[in-house]
Structure 1
């Protein structure tokens, strides 16, 4: 169809056929009358209904000038009105919707990163629906600190003296740099000047903080003497950035934490590490490479450690700072902290997730990000075979279904080039192109997102929950059925 193009253009010149089609376009009042009489959109306010009708008709007019096939749709009044009703329903629908993630990427940035534990949902509902002691000290009856609810937990779990939470890790890095090194030099290894999704670049954040970047070493090799030679009276901070979203391999060298911390102590300079992914549990037991944990960075003597809440931690979006109280207190007192603070829902979700880490086995079982990483390959293979059999029984006339061994990824800018062995159901449609099937699945009532490989659409069972297979099957049935209109 034509209506996903937005905007309208002036009619500068039209041939007689186009003019005839334009005369067939119904008026706004006619369309409103039909929609109201149909009774199918009674839940939509009339003001929104009229706005959608006008928008739809503008797009029809634009489409007539660029697509002659539109004329046939306009002349079929019943079809046009049905398309209008579909457009209104789609336009009025929620923008943020549930999707089925069949890509095998566990922490998928485009699909909301980490899923929250089921138990956290009750905590969120209570925090949202009722008043809370967000900044009320129940012992004294006076105003308290919102950070008190998670600071103790973070210190207990990481071994840090103090902690602070802001709205994301970029904010955490910005706030720390602005507090401790504004107007001063910050020394960073050239090989650690990362850029992550959304154009977050360490040099840009540093510039915004007022700190002056001093690069040392080369792209692939940096030595302790490079830092030593760069230190001046204007140096305010030594910064280490964990390269969680890429790897430099081959002839490489980086200064380890102990050496950098020792240098910082020698020159009375704070040393900060941006860990990014925020791992609290060693996940190497599940076939992944060893990722430094927050506890290890703190125990090693890092003065400030920053990390994300919604990556390997498996919680809500947040930027977490832990470290020495002397420095964290300065960061807390920065007026910029108020502009970056978290709300009560983030706080409630984070506290709920952190409490699960008090029992590592419970965390691995109940935090979805960790549970998906820990899923045994044999379980995934069994689920893939069962789903493939269901697909074959229901849809063998429309596609070929096979079980395929594949690889999942952690995602979210964490653990590059690290794969988890997994199993998927591969779909080869008989009458459709892969691109058509992929597009149709994105337009089902619950969009289904897969991964295209070698002219097949794969659905990796690692990121599809057991209770989501029925939704996936319904989506495939809707997308594969013959004669389905393309609304693109």
Structure 2
């Protein structure tokens, strides 16, 4: 019996064919070889698994086109834009906050040439990258001083290493959170070189618990805002002002890890349980750490604000260089912070906040426009469907937002297959599946993204 594997050509013989040789010349020898190996390996695997069939015409145009398609696919950037139609505004897996045009422009301006990253134009000497945003952060939060690192976990780590290494950190059991990627606050404390002392219970911690735990080895009382979960029912926690007085009386530092952190009060708009940074500092907390890329609406960053003497110790600590913010994130953060100052209105100018508070009528109108685009395509499109959107990013758990989705189904494709086709569109569209339909939530789709959503569905409908 003839071994079907013997009909598979050698890579070298394929490279000698004119169409394949042209590809190697147009792209590169290495890329062409890699694509050829991918195709031959797939054919070999199919044959070994008993899937006998007609082998392709290795000298034909169709085979060369497949090789070229593989090369182009390999050249496609892995980190690429997508359209978030999930209804989760700050989607951790999809890049969190959408940046404002001003932030994008500032990043491009700084990236395209030299910049004043660590150069003082007044003195003509070396400057500090932290100076670009410190005054803005202090103005918006009321802090004495501020410094920025590459993310909030780094902010917590640096703060603890610089103030509590070799000493004790007192924290409530109910606040020992785990954030995304299985990073746990107790592990961060341990890595800082500090010793964790847990107080209270999961649902109740009293001021007396903290008071009884403080001794000569205590350096920090650490509060953590439980922004990604909620404990309800029989609960208790001391007021920040009482904790601040206790910390001052006993000569220890009171820190708070907000996780997210907002600069304006969201309660009047129906989103409660997210404390404002300035209010926390007014309550007497010595140091607060919060993110730049969640409800603040900027790039990934960890912002540390509070007492000037503590911030100075953080600035000069050797770990600072390992966790410092890069110039592009710094440029975007500065531009975003400026949107919180007059004449700007952050509720309109910061995309995350605009998406949170956009009137439902505008979301519904966007859904209607998409439905009109889809009607001629032959897809089964439901009418606009009321649904719930979410803030995401580990913030405001259990609080949803009114939204409107467009439900789409295909005549022959399953909902899973349709969602997969949307993920492989020229600009991938990421929705969610409910009741065998793909739901495209219009609260997280912007007006300028609608044509690309329609184009992706148009291509799928055309077969």
Same fold (TM over 0.5): yes
Q: Give the Cα separation in 1 of the matches to 2:422 and 2:305.
A: 43
Q: Is the 8 A contact 1:186 1:212 kept in 2?
A: yes
**In the alignment, what sits opposite 2:457?**
476
Q: Is the 8 A contact 1:188 1:213 kept in 2?
A: yes
- 1:350 maps onto 2:333 in alignment: yes
**In the alignment, what sits opposite 1:30?**
14
Q: Give the Cα separation in 2 of the matches to 1:25 and 1:229.
A: 78
- Measured against aligned partners, the alpha-carbon deviations of 1:358-399 in whole angstroms (never above 9, x if no partner) come to 138522212111111121001111111221122112x23x32
Q: Is the 8 A contact 1:286 1:373 kept in 2?
A: no
TM-score, normalisation: structure 1: 0.90
Out of 416, 422, 429, the position equivalent to 1:435 is 416
Write out aligned runs for 1:43-442 (5 A).
44-66=27-49, 68-69=50-51, 71-72=52-53, 74-75=55-56, 77=58, 79-359=62-342, 361-393=344-376, 395-396=377-378, 398-442=379-423
Q: Give the Cα separation in 2 of the matches to 1:100 and 1:319.
A: 26
Task: Please state how far the C-alpha of 1:24 moved relative to its aligned partner.
Answer: 3.3
RMSD: 2.0
Q: Is the 8 A contact 1:21 1:75 kept in 2?
A: no
Task: Please state how far the C-alpha of 1:64 moved relative to its aligned partner.
Answer: 3.4
Q: Is the 8 A contact 2:161 2:192 kept in 1?
A: yes
**In the alignment, what sits opposite 1:20?**
4
400-409 or 345-354, which deviates more: 400-409
Q: Give the Cα separation in 2 of the matches to 1:57 and 1:20.
A: 13
Task: Please state how far the C-alpha of 1:247 moved relative to its aligned partner.
Answer: 0.5
Write out aligned runs for 1:452-471 (5 A).
452-471=433-452
Task: Please state how far the C-alpha of 1:26 moved relative to its aligned partner.
Answer: 5.8
Q: Give the Cα separation in 1 of the matches to 2:339 and 2:238.
A: 34
**In the alignment, what sits opposite 1:444?**
425
- Measured against aligned partners, the alpha-carbon deviations of 1:57-95 in whole angstroms (never above 9, x if no partner) come to 3344334334x44x4363454555443332221112111
- Quick one: structure 1 residues 241 and 28, their matched pair in 2 at CA, closer, same or farther if it must change by over 3 Å? farther
- Measured against aligned partners, the alpha-carbon deviations of 1:427-460 in whole angstroms (never above 9, x if no partner) come to 1222111111111111111111101112211001
Task: Please state how far the C-alpha of 1:116 moved relative to its aligned partner.
Answer: 0.9
Q: Give the Cα separation in 1 of the matches to 2:343 and 2:179.
A: 29
Task: Give 5+ residue unaligned stretches, structure 2.
Answer: none
Q: Give the Cα separation in 1 of the matches to 2:320 and 2:444.
A: 36
TM-score, normalisation: structure 2: 0.95
19-28 or 134-143, which deviates more: 19-28
- Measured against aligned partners, the alpha-carbon deviations of 1:319-366 in whole angstroms (never above 9, x if no partner) come to 110000011111111100011111111111111111111138522212
- Measured against aligned partners, the alpha-carbon deviations of 1:397-432 in whole angstroms (never above 9, x if no partner) come to x32332100111111111111111011100122211
- Measured against aligned partners, the alpha-carbon deviations of 1:291-341 in whole angstroms (never above 9, x if no partner) come to 101111111111000001100011111111000001111111110001111
- Quick one: structure 1 residues 51 and 235, their matched pair in 2 at CA, closer, same or farther if it must change by over 3 Å? same
- Measured against aligned partners, the alpha-carbon deviations of 1:450-477 in whole angstroms (never above 9, x if no partner) come to 0111221100111111111111111112
How many equivalent pairs are there? 461
Q: Is the 8 A contact 1:405 1:421 kept in 2?
A: yes
